Structure 1
Amino acid sequence: MTDRTTQVLDTFAEHLRGIELPLPVDGADAARTEARAALSQLADHVTPRLASLDAPLLVVIGGSTGAGKSTLVNALVGEPVSRSGAIRPTTRRPVLLHHPDDEPWFTGPRILPGLARVHGGIGAPDAEAPGPQDTTGDVDPATSLELHGEERIPQGLALLDAPDIDSVATGNRELARQLLRAADLWLFVTTANRYADAVPWEVLRTAAERDVTVDVVMNRIPDRAGVAEELSTDLTAMLERQGVEVEHLFLVPETEIDAEGMLPSGVIGELAAHFTALAADGEQRRRIARRTLAGAVDGLAASAGELAAHAARQDAERRRLREEATGAFDGSRERIDAALGDGSLLRGEVLARWQDVVGTGELLRGVESLVTRARDRLGQMVSGRPAPAVAAEQALGTGLVHVVVDETAHGAERADAAWRASPAGRSLAEGRDLSRLPDGFAEQVRAAVRDWQGDVLELVRAEGADRRTKARLLSLGVNAVGVALMVVVFASTAFIPTGLEVGAGAATAVVGQRLLEAVFGDEAVRRMARTARESLTGRLDALVAGGAAPFLERLDALGGEDEAEALAGDAEALAALAREIREESR
């Protein structure tokens, strides 16, 4: 096994161990099962076989309940080494039979590293023999592999008696499939009256898809003239229709067993001779091992591709949930801009306090005379009455806080409702009321608004630093001019520029604009308004993003990003490796 091959397998194994698939997207459970199966096949078969192509060929004997697998194994050895009987399931702990000289290949974790080794012998107690509870289907799979060194097993070959693939015990079914994935050659055992059962054909189709070398035994064929030929013809036709290529088909007649449950050795003579010849032909064993290995690696490539596709679906669902959350809060942000730009914030309490500042209730009479009266009124407040400007500033701030908190809260409600409409979103929202804003959010908004208003006042002071402008500024008051700039920002065309020329809010903004121009000049006012708008916009963006944070944090905590790309790369590398293995075997 080359360094590149090792890297390909190790990288895929690392990705399989780290795969998360955290969202309950359709197919997630099946994908996680596929990942576990792929990881198992890497450890149980692919990696050890690539590292030791000359190791004994592992023949896994599988089939349906009651097909007589264990009886056949015992007949091949000539002694009752594998449990058989009428109570199901019989084979609980798998039994591996090997020649004594081949024992070092199997005592360590070279194959099936997840199963502990137990050395058996003739008459050894079956520590994991099933009891009546096995028929419930709730038993756990075996955790050990029973090894038997047998002289009757030819060197270079090992037989593994697996549990029933359709066992009533869930654990046995899972173990049977794990052992079949570890096989170099699958020997499927069926019977004359059950060879059309659905479950074996499902497994055989899997073997065909993965180009596994398969031999089939039809057991218990009625000993009547012409029956064996008729059944074998029908079975062969079924195999061809299903695309299952079988190397050998063995026919075993129905035969009486002796008191120890043993078949006469003659009835399995053809099968025994086949295994003896196979064990003696090293080149044939290597051919079978490479073919099955290439098929297994191709199967892993297919698994990697399927997992990549599911990981991509996870990513798509993650993006959809993110877009739902950010979209809800983007809507909040737009509504905040609308509330600031449509003049609604410049009505009610804010309008009353602004009228106190400019000293008139006749706001809609000629703007030019209003500006003059406002300057006169503001000039009277320089020495002792700044309270109206401060009150107007506070009213503006309170109104802005209310709009931001209210619209962001609506965004949280919309985002929560959108998430709870899908299983993936519900799984993320579970255990927390995401429809409510985080604790302390309102205070964060108040602090941000105060900071912005402070920035506006500093902007006014900085712009009025020269002597002539400073005199005009002081004649009106920094707070009053700052409020005027805030008013202009709120009604600016940077927000919603439709229909603002009518109504008290628009007129209020015009007054503020004229006051600022009287102090700083037209160009300076545009520059100040732009700077103040950008400052406000940045703070509003950050505040609304803070409302979305609980949703996005849950998405960010999922992990599992970039899995699709990594697994797609694994699929390509594994497919290339499978081609190399086939080319080397030619």
Structure 2
Amino acid sequence: MNPSESSPSSDNGAAALVQEAAVGLLENVRTELAALDLPLALPGVEAARSQAASALGQLDDYILPRWRSLEAPLLAVVGGSTGAGKSTLVNALVGRPVTRSGAIRPTTRQPILLHNPQDAPWFTSTRVLPTLHRVQGELVKGNTPASRAGVAPDASAMTSLVLVADTAVPTGIALLDAPDVDSISDDNRQLAGQLLAAADLWLFVTTANRYADAVPWKLLLDAASRDITVAVILDRVPQGAEQEVAADLQEMLTREGLSGAQLFVIPEMPLDELGMLPVATVAPINAWLANISQDAAGRAEIVRRTLNGTVRSLSGKVEMLSEAVQAQHDAGEQLAQDVQAAFADAATRITKATSDGTLLRGEVLARWQDFVGTGEFFRALESGIGRVRDRIGAFFRGQPPPAVKVEVAIETGLQAVIIDQGGRACEDADQRWRADPAGRQLLGMDDLSAVSPEFPAEVAAEIRAWQGEVMALIRAEGAAKRSQARWLSFGVNGLGVILMIVVFSFTGGLTGAEVGIAGGTAVVGQKLLEAIFGEDAVRRLAQQAKTALDVRCTSLLESQQRRFLDRVGSMGGGTLVQRLDSLAGQLADLGGKEPRT
């Protein structure tokens, strides 16, 4: 054998590898679509969600089953408008009433799938249309009219598929009688769309009066975009008008990219006593179906065209969904930034209030002055820094008032500031979200414009923890200065609240001695600490205490911020968009390949 020639076994092996790779790709696409979340109320999101559900359904109903079983019989779905005569056509094709037809609308509620008995294994399983459970139907016997054939309109739910084996159906092709595409029932229309999306081949039935209607043409144009093999059956054409009407419809088909569609014309004919059309009226359609049945290469070509076109269409849907994910990500980022900006402003205001002397007023100032005294001690400070050490020693030996009142006042004042700024941030974030449709949807009926009920207790606990941290700094610094241990023994708490007072005047790196806030309050505190620890140590302690306070305040605000941000969640974007774009490209490539049947 010429090395350039390939053997049948090598061709089969290569085809199997292509098939395996295709199925793997499609399963990856399915996994991504099943996990896709588009929660934000953005323009066009409903269409994107519908597109995702449609793509997922078509993967399950048609694309994956067909790629896994390329040799399976063709599924020809008979669809069309209300009253077009679909069920009457199906009955005529098999030569007996098998599906109900009549004047009551909608007639077809439960789809009926007719197949040759030899092809039964392909359809009794859930290979195609897995969401519809199987019901075994029986052939109508005797002279049962079409008006009583098949399943009664209200007799069964539309979640099932009636399977009827009939030798009149050629092997290699099955007929599925679908509900009306323009039914008054939403469920009927949805089921009709699902069935048509699962078809290898469409038998699209319309009438001389309805062939230009918008709904059928929307579906036909979709078929054209996916390169689906379509046979259009023009039913109930008045006698003598066949050529004129058929020519007009053919021109429309050509204009809309469906020039390759088979066109069959059924003239207006009276039905017999069983509600059947004369056999001769559908003979050309039966001959066409029989030819498909007998032509394995022709069936393979239909599979190739429909499958590739549907995969290319899926590629476009995935690409569009990638754009929708990016839009969700961008919108989510904007909502998150709005919240973060509101709470960042609050953090800035808290930082300012805890360093510009704002807290050194009111109750804090009163309790501080009670603690240090305002008479002899202040005059001692004014008489000269040289004697401060002696005065401080006397101050502590004189048993100063307990520092606890100052500590409580600091806690109360600081708590009020943090709660107030947290509330303002919540209100700001809530207002920003309510000005955005996506934000309003995330908020729903919840009111997040105030802090959570547990927030005040959380603030109090964090402030007490910070005060404990400040006391620990004093202890650690005192332990390093053994000569000052006797002063520390007189009041770690006292020195701790003094350090807090200094922190609250720590504006722009300046301490109380440099800005003189609240009538010398912080000046007193700084001089007391400097007399014990030294100037450099006081600056370092104040910076450490301020940083610790800022960290705790930030943590408190973040707990309120999370009430908003948790609603945004993960909006995808980034890697998800890249994955979807990559899958869309791979699908486009796959849609250009020819599956081997």
When normalised by structure 1's length, the TM-score is 0.88
Which of residues 184, 190, 193 is equivalent to 1:174? 190
The question of 1:60 aligning with 2:105 is answered: no
The question of 1:7 aligning with 2:17 is answered: no
Paired letter, 2:58: Q
Who is 1:440 aligned against? Answer: 454
Query: 1:424 & 1:561 partners in 2: Cα distance?
Result: 20
The question of 1:19 aligning with 2:36 is answered: yes
Who is 2:13 aligned against? Answer: none
Specify the SS of the correspondent of 1:187.
strand
Q: Which moved more, 1:194-203 or 1:535-544?
A: 535-544
The question of 1:314 aligning with 2:328 is answered: yes
CA change 1:262–1:348 in 2 (3 A) is: same
Who is 2:215 aligned against? Answer: 199
Query: 2:29 & 2:229 partners in 1: Cα distance?
Result: 24
CA change 1:319–1:94 in 2 (3 A) is: same
Q: State the shift of 1:367 in Å.
A: 7.0
Query: 1:203 & 1:515 partners in 2: Cα distance?
Result: 87
Query: 1:140 & 1:101 partners in 2: Cα distance?
Result: 27
Q: Any unmatched runs of 5+ in structure 1?
A: 132-138
Specify the SS of the correspondent of 2:39.
coil
Query: 2:400 & 2:553 partners in 1: Cα distance?
Result: 28
Who is 2:542 aligned against? Answer: 529
Query: 1:361 & 1:421 partners in 2: Cα distance?
Result: 57
Q: State the shift of 1:63 in Å.
A: 0.9
Aligned positions of 1:334-373 closer than 5 A:
334-360=348-374, 369=383
Q: Which moved more, 1:339-348 or 1:280-289?
A: 339-348
Are the aligned partners of 1:215 and 1:249 in contact in 2 as well (CA < 8 Å)?
A: yes
Query: 2:393 & 2:513 partners in 1: Cα distance?
Result: 29
Deviations 1:133-186 (A, max 9, x none): xxxxxx996122222322332221211121111111221111111110111111
Are the aligned partners of 1:324 and 1:418 in contact in 2 as well (CA < 8 Å)?
A: yes
Q: State the shift of 1:403 in Å.
A: 0.8
Are the aligned partners of 1:358 and 1:375 in contact in 2 as well (CA < 8 Å)?
A: no
CA change 1:471–1:175 in 2 (3 A) is: closer
Query: 1:141 & 1:265 partners in 2: Cα distance?
Result: 32
Q: Which moved more, 1:527-536 or 1:175-184?
A: 527-536
Query: 2:511 & 2:245 partners in 1: Cα distance?
Result: 86
The question of 1:242 aligning with 2:256 is answered: yes
The question of 1:189 aligning with 2:235 is answered: no
CA change 1:67–1:499 in 2 (3 A) is: farther
Specify the SS of the correspondent of 1:38.
helix
Are the aligned partners of 1:100 and 1:150 in contact in 2 as well (CA < 8 Å)?
A: yes
CA change 1:366–1:126 in 2 (3 A) is: farther
The question of 1:146 aligning with 2:169 is answered: no
Who is 1:129 aligned against? Answer: 152
Are the aligned partners of 2:100 and 2:150 in contact in 1 as well (CA < 8 Å)?
A: no
Deviations 1:37-89 (A, max 9, x none): 22221222112211222221111111111112222222221112222111111
Are the aligned partners of 2:201 and 2:302 in contact in 1 as well (CA < 8 Å)?
A: yes
Are the aligned partners of 2:512 and 2:522 in contact in 1 as well (CA < 8 Å)?
A: no
The question of 1:41 aligning with 2:52 is answered: no
Q: Which moved more, 1:336-345 or 1:176-185?
A: 336-345
Who is 1:134 aligned against? Answer: none
Q: State the shift of 1:287 in Å.
A: 0.5
Query: 1:301 & 1:397 partners in 2: Cα distance?
Result: 61
Which of residues 87, 109, 114 is equivalent to 1:70? 87
Q: Which moved more, 1:399-408 or 1:199-208?
A: 399-408
Q: State the shift of 1:311 in Å.
A: 2.8
Which of residues 372, 383, 387 is equivalent to 2:401? 387
Q: Which moved more, 1:446-455 or 1:399-408?
A: 446-455
The question of 1:509 aligning with 2:522 is answered: yes
CA change 1:446–1:151 in 2 (3 A) is: closer
Are the aligned partners of 1:360 and 1:374 in contact in 2 as well (CA < 8 Å)?
A: no
Deviations 1:407-431 (A, max 9, x none): 1122222223333334443343345
Q: Any unmatched runs of 5+ in structure 2?
A: 1-15
When normalised by structure 2's length, the TM-score is 0.87
Q: State the shift of 1:374 in Å.
A: 6.4
RMSD: 3.2
Specify the SS of the correspondent of 2:127.
coil
Q: Which moved more, 1:92-101 or 1:426-435?
A: 426-435
The question of 1:87 aligning with 2:110 is answered: no
CA change 1:505–1:581 in 2 (3 A) is: farther
Q: Which moved more, 1:500-509 or 1:194-203?
A: 500-509
Identity of matched residues, %:
48
Q: Would you say how many aligned residue pairs link Structure 1 and Structure 2?
A: 574
Aligned positions of 1:220-259 closer than 5 A:
220-224=236-240, 227-259=241-273
Q: State the shift of 1:284 in Å.
A: 0.8
Who is 2:137 aligned against? Answer: 119
Q: State the shift of 1:578 in Å.
A: 1.7
Which of residues 459, 463, 470 is equivalent to 1:449? 463
The question of 1:577 aligning with 2:594 is answered: no
CA change 1:140–1:19 in 2 (3 A) is: farther
The question of 1:541 aligning with 2:554 is answered: yes
Query: 2:575 & 2:135 partners in 1: Cα distance?
Result: 39
